[in-house]
Amino acid sequence: MTTYVVIESITPNQSLVFSAQQGPQGIAGATGPTGPTGAAGPTGPTGVTGATGPAGATGATGPTGADSTVPGPTGPTGPVGATGPTGATGADSTVPGPTGATGPVGATGPVGATGTTGDVGATGATGPAGATGATGPTGPTGLTGPTGPTGATGVGNIAGFNTQTGTSYTLVIGDLSDIVTLNNAAAITLTVPPSVFSANDQVHVVQYGAGQVSFAQGAGVTILSTGATTTAPKLRTNKSAATVICTASNTFLIVGDIV
């Protein structure tokens, strides 16, 4: 179709005013070939999401699937349910149950009243003596007692020596507590006299030579000894000694190396 433009008038200070008139429709020409497809334009921006449509009706339940051979995970333990009512008591068991742990000792009960005293039992046998205890500490020294009476005079030191060289000798009071030595090649006689010595007096006699000493009783004197002759003992040998002891008035005991 061809469009013609006619300019009708132009006035000062006015814009052009166009007027178009359409002519008659011409005969349509033949359709030209389709041009090539143009390049695709860029994708436009995503439009705003429309409102969700109403939910459709629930479909029919499908058939149950086969049981799984793989156990599924264990679900969490549910809350403990309320305790149900106690059931009826069952019959007594014939198998003893295990012994429970010993309970704590209970508090001591109050002491009961004292019973009457029973009869005294028979005395038991005496037990063995115990071990001796340790010695206790020494006690303090007691007070000094009074001085006792003076005792009899005992045998003191030898008073001295009386040397005799004859073949006979008679003891005298001056020989008291002395050692009388008798020295001679021949036999010697020593006489113990009466009424010279008192009880507890002593005289020591020693043989110094080859002459054997024999003891003889004075008139009224009694000699006691272990010698072969009780009343006339002898010194055994050179350097033998004996003691003449007055045991009572005119009675003498001779002890020592005698025969």
Residue 213: burial class (beta carbons within 10 Å; 0-12, 13-18, 19+): buried
Grouping H, G, I as helix, E, B as strand and the rest as coil, residue 216 is strand
pLDDT of the residue at 222:
98
Between CA 240 and CA 242 the distance in angstroms is 7
Q: Which residue has the higher pLDDT, 201 or 121?
A: 201
User: Residues near 253 by Cβ (< 8 Å), separated by ≥ 6?
Assistant: 223, 224, 225, 244, 245, 247
Which pLDDT tens digit goes with each residue over 206-229? 999 999 999 999 999 999 999 999
Task: Report the percentage of the chain scoring pLDDT > 90.
Answer: 39
Q: Which DSSP string do the residues of 104-173 spell out, in sequence order?
A: PPPPPPPPPPPPPPPPPPPPPPPPPPPPPPPPPPPPPPPPPPPPPPPPPP---S--EEEEE-SSEEE--G
Q: CB of 230 within 8 A of CB of 251?
A: no
Q: Which residue has the higher pLDDT, 119 or 62?
A: 119
Between CA 1 and CA 21 the distance in angstroms is 12
Give pTM, 2 decimals.
Answer: 0.42
Grouping H, G, I as helix, E, B as strand and the rest as coil, residue 195 is coil
- Band (22; pLDDT cuts 50, 70, 90): low
| Mean pLDDT of the residues in the chain | 81
Between CA 223 and CA 205 the distance in angstroms is 15
- Band (154; pLDDT cuts 50, 70, 90): very low
Q: What is the mean pLDDT of residues 34-40?
A: 76
Between CA 191 and CA 212 the distance in angstroms is 14
Q: Which of 99-108, 146-155, 200-209, 249-258 has the lowest mean pLDDT?
A: 146-155
